[in-house]
Amino acid sequence: MPEPTRRAPSGAAALRADKTVAIAEAVLDELAEQGYGRLSMEAVAKRAGVGKSALYRRWPSKQHMIIAVVSELSVERLEAPDTGSLRGDVLALLRSVADWLTHPRFSRIFPDLIAEAHRDPALAEALARSVGEPRRARAVVVLDRAVGRGELPPDTDRETALDLLAALVYWHVSVRGVRPDADYLERTTETVLCALGARPAA
Amino acid sequence: MPEPTRRAPSGAAALRADKTVAIAEAVLDELAEQGYGRLSMEAVAKRAGVGKSALYRRWPSKQHMIIAVVSELSVERLEAPDTGSLRGDVLALLRSVADWLTHPRFSRIFPDLIAEAHRDPALAEALARSVGEPRRARAVVVLDRAVGRGELPPDTDRETALDLLAALVYWHVSVRGVRPDADYLERTTETVLCALGARPAA
């Protein structure tokens, strides 16, 4: 039985989780207020109540830090929905996209990162690898299950289908800035199902 | 018959068109390089080879100037396509969206304006009024003609249809940063037609 008073292991592994959480919150606050270009390591450290060395012990650069925090928010807590029908899964995916894009801070952060990515190819690549691809990998599971149930044709174009599952909500909410009304997600689910040529399960 | 040597009328109307063009080019260059937040009237004037007063004679503020130039680029030269079929018109509209979003400078400018609009409600409102709404008004003509030809149901949801005509290309090209392959626009046209429940003309 471990001794309750023993000391934490020393060295690289001994990063305090509470500090990591405080830093992540500070990164999101600074990103929402200042944007990627103006965010400084100093301001994040000050806001989190830690020294700058606490940041550099965790991540080698500002870009690594931001990508890690944004990826955690965007990907880590997600699972592919499995409601038993394509309609239910599409509705759940669209709701998760809408929740993500209307998250109080993230609604400002994501469009700013996209704008910055047009000026910074390394950031664009990191965003695609750490946010875009994991989210797409999750959604493709839904499409594959629907093909298995006979709700989608086996030759369904996965690329177009994955674009559909994010594009409409992004354009509506993040580009046009429209607050979705009560049945927006239901209507958009119907549009996506029509576009995919979905049919009821066999 | 007017005398060829008479002087231009004096006063507010006497804005030289060549200067206006040079200023618009300078605004686009500065927007692409610096972004909305860092763009200064001084830098635009210097780049265009005019005095700052030449800017303020045309527009009362930086925001008015930028909206006027971006609206001119985004709206003024566009007409609703009229190819005789919904398929042809949708393909033409998607191509015009792709051309707009991949325009060498505008591909950087538009995502930056969207990010800035999340921090500046007045800019968001001006963009919607001067860019979004005129573009949507142009596209709705295409939908109405297709309803008239029996290619779309009369109760077609115009809001969703208009979102579809921009959202997929925006997500693919501007958010994901994918360069469209040769038949991307053709495939996306099929997706849009499926989503709209289009049928051949009666």
* A146 φ/ψ sector (left φ>0, alpha ψ -120 to 50, else beta): alpha
The answer to whether B19 touches B54, Cβ cutoff 8 Å, is yes
What ipTM goes with this model?
A: 0.88
Q: Which residues of A touch B160 (CB under 8 A)?
A: 168, 187-188, 191
| E strands present in chain B | none
Say which of B37, B171, B196 has its CB closest to residue A163: B171
The answer to whether A71 touches A123, Cβ cutoff 8 Å, is no
Q: Which residues of B touch A195 (CB under 8 A)?
A: 191-192, 194-195
The answer to whether B110 touches B117, Cβ cutoff 8 Å, is no
Token couple for A169:
């909500």
**Closest residue in B to A133 (Cα–Cα):** B176
Token couple for A158:
């996965």
- In this structure, of A42-46, A163-167, B11-15, the range with the lowest mean pLDDT score is B11-15
CA dist., res. A190 & res. B157, Å (int): 12
Is the CB of B171 less than 8 angstroms away from the CB of A174? no
- Domains contained in chain A, CATH given: 17-65 (1.10.10.60), 73-196 (1.10.357.10)
Is the CB of B197 less than 8 angstroms away from the CB of A196? no
Q: A-B interface: how many C-beta pairs under 8 angstroms?
A: 99
CA distances from B111 to A25, A111, A176, B134 (A): 25, 7, 12, 19
Selected for mutation to probe chain B from A38, A107, A118 (highest B CB count within 10 Å) is: A118
- Listing DSSP states for B38-56 in one string gives T--HHHHHHHHTS-HHHHH
Q: Which residues of A touch B192 (CB under 8 A)?
A: 195
User: Could you read off the pLDDT of B129-156 as tens digits, one per residue?
Assistant: 999 999 999 999 999 999 999 999 999 9
User: Could you read off the pLDDT of B72-123 as tens digits, one per residue?
Assistant: 988 877 789 999 999 999 999 999 999 999 988 999 999 999 999 998 999 9
